[in-house]
Amino acid sequence: MAVSELAQILNDDRSASAIKLVLCVIAAVSASAFPIVAHAMDASYYVVFVTRILIYALAAVSLNLVLGFGGLASFGHAMFLSLGAYCAAVPTVYGVNGAWLHVLLALTLGCSLALLTGLVVLRTRETAFIMTTLAFAQMLYFLLVSLKQFGGDEGLNMQSGSEIAGVQLSDNNVLYFVSLAVLAAVVLFQRRLLHSPFGTIFRGVAANEQRMKALGYPTLLYRLTAYVISGGLCTVCGVLLANLTLFASPSYGSWKASGELMLMVVLGGAGTIGGPIVGAAAFLMIEEVTKGVSPHWPAYLGILIIAISVFSRNGIWTFVRRNRS
């Protein structure tokens, strides 16, 4: 059931052929077998690296919900990431290690923050929207920097990871499978959401807000709901990120981090379901490779980003799919 649905997602059309189904099964099996193979080959580092990709893919998928499908270019989405990281790190300081509690806290605070900021930012359009989301992200950034009792700008080291069913979420293999499962669940959820009446109206609002208003839909409410869902998911992603690094830092929410999230979405293909995942993987791999090649890697990364934004308008995912059909 889940696999056939995954196949449909990867196509995004209703006629999932057998070949694509097989491809999806192969992908699912290889994703599950990956840590075992990696450990066998004594390359545990890559488990951590792929987990990082999975976590950032999740953040990019949640940003894509508003950016790709809703046309809302949020330049402050990393703020939810840093909030989530602190939702995991701060309770552990007081010895509260339950993973579900961290996630619940992240969801509550993340959705509240998205609701409050959304009420302001969604009143603005285009450039002003980009700027206001950035402004709120900066506010949270400076707020976290000023929390001296939780490390200030040096960040907060976690003594232990979140605990789930007696195991540490920060364990490499546990975190890998949890991230994989959460990513798969969110992708399925997003597909269902976009094809639901809510999702159809939401995409309609992005395409032509005036018309949807004229049809009598409260457009702000639809955009706000999507913004809250996206923010909440991204905050949960922050909990996973904190467990990956055992560290929470305001820099997770810096404006450069927000820019990188946007980049992942656009690189893979905004407004497609598989795009952000491909984009996150491509971005982190490019970063990893250029880091290994030269100490001046940011410059090469920058040149690559410029080239991508000039030459590839629709992202890797769209490019691959168009050339195949």
Partner 1 sequence: MAPSFIAFQLLNGIQYGVMLSLLAAGLTLIFGIMNFMNLSHGAYYMLGAFVGATVYNKTGVFLLAIVGAVLATMIVGAVAERLVLRRLYRSDHLHQVLATFGFILVFDELAKTVWGPAPYYMSVPPMLSGSFDLAGVPFPTYRLMIVAVGISFAACLYVVIHRSRLGMLIRASSHDPEIVAAMGVNVKVLNALVFTIGCGLAGLAGILAAPIVSIEPGMGSGVLILTLVVIVVGGVGSIKGAFLGAILIGCIDTCGRVFIGPSLANVATKQISGAAGPALASIIVYVVMAVVLAWRPQGLFSVR
Residues forming the site for partner 1 (CB under 8 A): 67, 73, 75, 120, 123-128, 130-132, 134-136, 138-139, 142-143, 145-149, 255-256, 259, 262-263, 266, 270, 296, 298-299, 301-306, 308-310, 313
Between 124 and 160, name the residue whose CB sits nearer to partner 1: 124
Question: In the bound complex, what is the minimum distance in angstroms from residue 152's beta carbon to partner 1?
Answer: 9
State whether the Cα torsion 142-143-144-146 is positive or negative. Answer: positive
Question: In the bound complex, what is the minimum distance in angstroms from residue 67's beta carbon to partner 1?
Answer: 8
Between 123 and 211, name the residue whose CB sits nearer to partner 1: 123
Nearest in space to 260 (alpha carbons), one of 9, 55, 10: 55
Compute the distance between CA of residue 180 and CA of residue 80 in angstroms, rounded to an integer.
20
Compute the distance between CA of residue 51 and CA of residue 185 in angstroms, rounded to an integer.
16
Between 21 and 304, name the residue whose CB sits nearer to partner 1: 304
Question: In the bound complex, what is the minimum distance in angstroms from residue 151's beta carbon to partner 1?
Answer: 13
Assess contact for 102 and 89: CB atoms under 8 A. no
Burial of 249 from C-beta contacts in 10 A (0-12 / 13-18 / 19+): buried
Between 135 and 188, name the residue whose CB sits nearer to partner 1: 135
Nearest in space to 88 (alpha carbons), one of 250, 235, 261: 235
Assess contact for 177 and 116: CB atoms under 8 A. no
Question: In the bound complex, what is the minimum distance in angstroms from residue 132's beta carbon to partner 1?
Answer: 5
Between 90 and 184, name the residue whose CB sits nearer to partner 1: 90
Q: Where are the beta strands (DSSP E) in 166-217?
A: 167-168
Between 202 and 283, name the residue whose CB sits nearer to partner 1: 283
Question: In the bound complex, what is the minimum distance in angstroms from residue 39's beta carbon to partner 1?
Answer: 35
Question: In the bound complex, what is the minimum distance in angstroms from residue 215's beta carbon to partner 1?
Answer: 24
Task: Please report, as a single letter, which amino acid is at residue 308.
Answer: I
Between 128 and 215, name the residue whose CB sits nearer to partner 1: 128
Compute the distance between CA of residue 32 and CA of residue 25 in angstroms, rounded to an integer.
11
Element (H, E) at 247: strand 247-248
In the numeric block, which tokens belong to residue 102? 């961290």
Question: In the bound complex, what is the minimum distance in angstroms from residue 55's beta carbon to partner 1?
Answer: 21
In the numeric block, which tokens belong to residue 212? 């949807």
